[in-house]
Chains A and B, each alone.
Chain A
Amino acid sequence: MPKSEENAMWSIFGYLLSGLLFWGGFGYGLDKWLDKNYFTLIGLLVGISGAIYLVWLRFGRE
């Protein structure tokens, strides 16, 4: 695999993981705090969209 692709692959993986962890975790915290059960899901969706947006910014804009 060419080096630039290797780089892109692991960067994308890292962004997707951070997206889920951060906004998913944020939603989970809200759920615990407000005693609801849907913020985790919303957080995960927001996180993955943010991560995909970031991937597009970084690798798709050229």
Chain B
Amino acid sequence: MRVQLLSEAQGEGFVPPSSGDFELPPIFGENALTTKPIFLLFLSVILISAFFILASRKAAVVPSKLQFAGESVYGFVRNGLARDVIGHEFLRFVPYLFTLFTFILVNNVFGIVPLLQFPTMSRISFPYILALSVYLVFHYVGIRKQGAFKYFKEIMFMPGVPKAAYILITPLEILTFFVVRPLTLALRLFANMFAGHLLLLVFILGGEHLLQGVIGLKLISPFAFGIGIVLTFFEFMVQCLQAYIFTLLAALYIAGALADEH
């Protein structure tokens, strides 16, 4: 009986969403360079450039709505992130942090934009490259500011610790600074986008599948769609938050590399 039920359930043919749903075929041609995430990436660059060019072109003392919107985003990154975290040298990092923030934000929000509906950052290569750029920037900044020897010495040997303790904690400092930090930076962004997209797929594809079932199931499907809609708003929050956290941590790492004592 149980086996029969199982086979009937399988006969219904609901295919649960899986990681396979993230491996999209090329839109044209036979190579991996024409997949949807790549196009979304280019689209995001075009959208961001167009938005900020338009917003800043006719800059006036009394700003238009567009200029106001553009300046709010810029001001948020400049004052809320760069200045508060990095301190007096913040100005030269604003372009980098601003690019990071808007780029990640737009690519994340693509996850809930109708028709696009795919967060680019749910493919892990993109967060890896972004984290790599942060990694190079903050180590470069630290080495330039303090000199390579002093920089590495301060990472490895914290002052005011008994000598014997260095055996225990120096490997941890090295691992944290050179492996764990960039890796968690990339994985946090990736995993949030991946899980969020999967969650939406479960409820919306599930709702659609219930709609094709018997009448009892049809009545349940609006709840699945309802939860799907609620989760879409939740996802929007997560997408903004992850863009913010990525940029914030990048700023914190830069600030840490600039500071004399870590």
**Is A42 part of the binding interface, using a Cβ–Cβ cutoff of 8 Å?**
no
Within 8 Å by CB of A17, from B165, B171, B180, lies: B180
Q: How far is the CA of A22 from the CA of B174 in the complex (A)?
A: 10
Given the complex, which residues of B lie within 8 Å of A49, measured CB to CB?
168
- Chain A min CB distance to B236 (Å): 19
**Is B172 part of the binding interface, using a Cβ–Cβ cutoff of 8 Å?**
yes
Contact B169 A50 (CB under 8 A): yes
Contact B249 A10 (CB under 8 A): yes
**Is B173 part of the binding interface, using a Cβ–Cβ cutoff of 8 Å?**
yes
Residues of B35-82 whose CB lies within 8 A of A: none
**Is B156 part of the binding interface, using a Cβ–Cβ cutoff of 8 Å?**
no
Q: Name which residue of chain A comes closest to B251, CB basis.
A: A3
Residues of B147-175 whose CB lies within 8 A of A: 158, 160-161, 165, 168-169, 171-173, 175
Given contacts A3-B84, A3-B85, contact A17 B184 (CB under 8 A): yes
Contact B248 A18 (CB under 8 A): no
**Is B252 part of the binding interface, using a Cβ–Cβ cutoff of 8 Å?**
yes
**Is B212 part of the binding interface, using a Cβ–Cβ cutoff of 8 Å?**
no
Q: Name which residue of chain A comes closest to B159, CB basis.
A: A57
Residues of B121-171 whose CB lies within 8 A of A: 158, 160-161, 165, 168-169, 171
Contact B184 A6 (CB under 8 A): no
**Is A19 part of the binding interface, using a Cβ–Cβ cutoff of 8 Å?**
yes
Within 8 Å by CB of A54, from B85, B169, B179, lies: B169
Given the complex, which residues of A lie within 8 Å of B171, measured CB to CB?
18, 22-23
- Chain A min CB distance to B178 (Å): 10
Q: How far is the CA of A40 from the CA of B161 in the complex (A)?
A: 26
Contact A22 B184 (CB under 8 A): no
User: Which residues of B approach A to under 8 Å, CB–CB?
Assistant: 84-85, 158, 160-161, 165, 168-169, 171-173, 175-176, 179-181, 184, 245, 248-249, 252, 262
Given contacts A6-B248, A13-B184, could you give 12 more A-B pairs where the C-beta distance is less than 8 Å?
A14-B180, A17-B184, A18-B171, A18-B175, A18-B179, A18-B180, A22-B172, A47-B172, A50-B169, A57-B160, A57-B161, A57-B169
What are 10 pairs between A and B in contact, CB < 8 Å?
A6-B248, A6-B249, A6-B252, A15-B176, A18-B172, A18-B179, A47-B172, A50-B168, A54-B173, A58-B158
